[in-house]
Amino acid sequence: MKKLCILITISALAASMQAEAGSRATRPGESVGVVSGMIVGVAAAGPFGAVLGGALGAYLGNSVEEAQKLGGVQAELAAARTDLSAASDQLARLRQAQADAERRIDDLVARLEMAPDAGTLGRGIELSVYFRTGEAKTGEAMNRRLQNLAELLARMPDIGVQLDGHADPRGNDHYNRQLSLDRAGGVRKLLLAAGVPEQRIGLSAYGESLSTAADRDMDAYALERRVVIRLVPAGAEGQLAQRD
- Enumerate domains of the chain plus CATH numbers: 2-72 (no CATH), 115-243 (3.30.1330.60)
For 80-108, b/e burial (b = at least 16 CB within 10 A) is eeeeeeeeeebeebbeebbeebbebbeeb
Nearest to 153 by CA among 224, 38, 237: 237
Q: What is the pLDDT of residue 82?
A: 64
CA 29, CA 3: separation in Å to the nearest integer?
28
Residue 12 has pLDDT above 80, yes or no: no
How much is the mean pLDDT over the chain? 74
Strand partners, 123: none
CA 58, CA 161: separation in Å to the nearest integer?
75
3-class SS of residue 229: strand
Q: Which residue did the predictor score with more confidence, 238 or 161?
A: 161
**Least confident residue range of 6-20, 212-226, 229-243:** 6-20
CA 16, CA 12: separation in Å to the nearest integer?
6
- In one letter, which amino acid is 82? T
Beta strands in 101-215 (DSSP E): 125-130, 159-165, 201-205
Q: What is the pLDDT of residue 61?
A: 64
CA 229, CA 162: separation in Å to the nearest integer?
6
Nearest to 131 by CA among 84, 185, 83, 86: 185
Tens-digit pLDDT profile for residues 63-85: 666 766 676 767 777 766 666 66
Pairing of strands 201-205, 125-130: unpaired
Q: What is the pLDDT of residue 166?
A: 97
Q: Are 6 and 42 in contact (CB under 8 A)?
A: yes
**Least confident residue range of 22-36, 78-92, 122-136, 165-179:** 22-36
Taking only Cα atoms into account, the Rg of the chain, rounded to an integer number of angstroms, comes to 35
Band (pLDDT 50/70/90 cuts) for residue 30 is: very low
**Max mean pLDDT range (19-28, 45-54, 112-121):** 112-121
Q: Which residue did the predictor score with more confidence, 22 or 238?
A: 238
Q: What is the pLDDT of residue 32?
A: 45
Determine what percent of the chain is predicted with pLDDT higher than 90: 32
CA 65, CA 216: separation in Å to the nearest integer?
36
